[in-house]
């Protein structure tokens, strides 16, 4: 998380807003909205995608789809690169809403859901 990300405190919960570095009208914002609409259309909005590592939490299908779709649209198709971009690049953080899946989880996701991309 960069020093520019906004951290909000609500009671005992902390959450981060990743969108302020992404300009209005940017393609990253379009991807986020587009994936939300697709999942709502197919009634998949609350689906989870399991992590490749046992014991780790599952990832939101929307977040994984947004990350991979945005990565592919920008020419990044290698899982290692996508995983690094999700950790360090503000636009990728925005579309992934802060998740940082490892390369194995991304590869598994692409193998299962790759026909959409």
**45-79 pLDDT tens trace:** 667 877 777 777 889 888 999 999 999 999 999 99
Quick one: CA torsion of 54, 59, 65, 66, rounded to 10 degrees? -130
Q: Which domain holds residue 63?
A: 24-116
Cβ-based neighbours of 6, under 8 Å, separated by 6 or more? 16, 17, 20
- Whole-number Å distance between alpha carbons of 64 and 86: 10
Task: At 109, list the tokens.
Answer: 């996701």
Question: What percentage of the chain's residues is helix, strand, coil (to nearest 5)?
Answer: 50, 10, 40
**46 vs 6, more confident:** 46
Kindly state whether residue 58 falls inside one of the protein's structural domains: yes
In a domain, residue 87? The reply is: yes
Tell me whether residue 36 is in a domain.
yes
Residue 6 lies in a domain: no
Residue 11 lies inside a defined structural domain of this protein: no
Provide the whole-model pTM: 0.76
Per the structure, the count of domains in the chain is: 1
């Amino acid at each position: 998380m960069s020093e520019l990300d906004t951290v909000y405190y609500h009671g005992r919960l902390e959450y981060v807003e990743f969108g302020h570095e992404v300009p209005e009208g940017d393609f990253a914002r379009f991807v986020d909205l587009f994936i939300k609409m697709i999942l709502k259309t197919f009634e998949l909005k609350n689906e989870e995608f399991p992590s490749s590592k046992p014991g780790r939490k599952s990832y939101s299908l929307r977040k994984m789809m947004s990350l991979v779709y945005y990565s592919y649209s920008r020419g990044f198709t290698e899982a290692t690169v996508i995983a690094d971009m999700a950790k360090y690049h503000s636009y990728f953080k925005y579309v992934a809403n802060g998740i940082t899946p490892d390369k194995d989880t991304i590869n598994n996701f692409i193998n299962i859901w790759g026909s959409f991309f």
